[in-house]
Amino acid sequence: MADRPNGAPGAAGAAGRTVVLITGASEGIGAELARQWAARERERVALVIAARNVERLDAVAAQCRDFGGEVLVHRCDVSVEAECRALVGAAADRFGRLDVLVNNAGMSAHADLHATPDLAWTEQLMRINHWGSVWCTHAALPHLRARRGRIVAVSSLAGLVGVPGRTAYCATKFAMTGFFEALRVELAETGVSVTIAYPGVVATEIRRRGFDAHGRPAGVSGLEESGAMSVETCARLILEGALARRRDVVMTAKGRLGRWMKLLAPEAVDRMARAALRKAGPEGGGRA
């Protein structure tokens, strides 16, 4: 795995900068979050952006450098524990510290359980969405504790409410939610904040590239997308939540309503979920 520091001067050159590591930063929410962080903080930020596609990462890095941010590109497959730990190590070696970890890398899926002949891909989905966040966070924790830093976990509304056709995806996002809620309490006395973001349907390609019942790219979305949130708005809400050290960022009125209705009228939430699925049709892939 090659790091691409763009000839920057190392830890001394990052003096006074906030060091932010973002996984899944080659496109979609992660790439836009990197661009917005660089635009907002400019010379005050050093970004470590990670994903599997280095060519796309390089393009994002160039955009971020235009704002004056320092950027390290690092290839990482978060489904591999050793690569997660190497990523955090590279960030710390390069800049001497870590202030913010954004666990954004993720994969989508849409498949009824009864229509899934082999569950091997569901295990891989858990490694990407849940374990990748766990491994990165565990490796980063000593650095974040030393800096009283911030952890951001990009979950999904499917990590709050069960969605039909998304048993595997919901399982990974519920796991994320439980892990980071518990971690938040563990870290309460350390000064490290944990912000969990719950996007709804966002206008990205994640659902089309997600797994279908056979573990192949779905090619289409299984959700109603006519009112999809723009990636720019989603990234802005995550960034504002991280900077303010908010507990949760639930991005839509429907999401906030559903969270409470789940406690007060769970059957109504089930009906809403089924209706959303019927509008989109039975096929698809996919962050709601």
CA distance 84 to 90: 10
First-to-final CA distance of the chain = 31
Q: At what angle do helices 132-147 and 81-95 cross, to 10 degrees?
A: 30
Q: Which residues are within 8 A (CB) of 137 and not within 5 positions of it... i.e. 6 or more apart?
A: 101, 103, 151, 183
On the CB side of 40, how many CA atoms lie within 13 Å of its CA? 15
Q: How many helices (H) and strands (E) does the chain have?
A: 10, 8
The answer to whether residue 198 is catalytic is no
Query: Do 280 and 220 form a contact (C-beta atoms < 8 A)?
Result: no
Instruction: Identify which of 185, 180, 21, 189 has the alpha carbon closest to the alpha carbon of residue 100.
Output: 21
Question: Catalytic one among 37, 67, 121, 169?
Answer: 169
Catalytic residue numbers?
A: 169
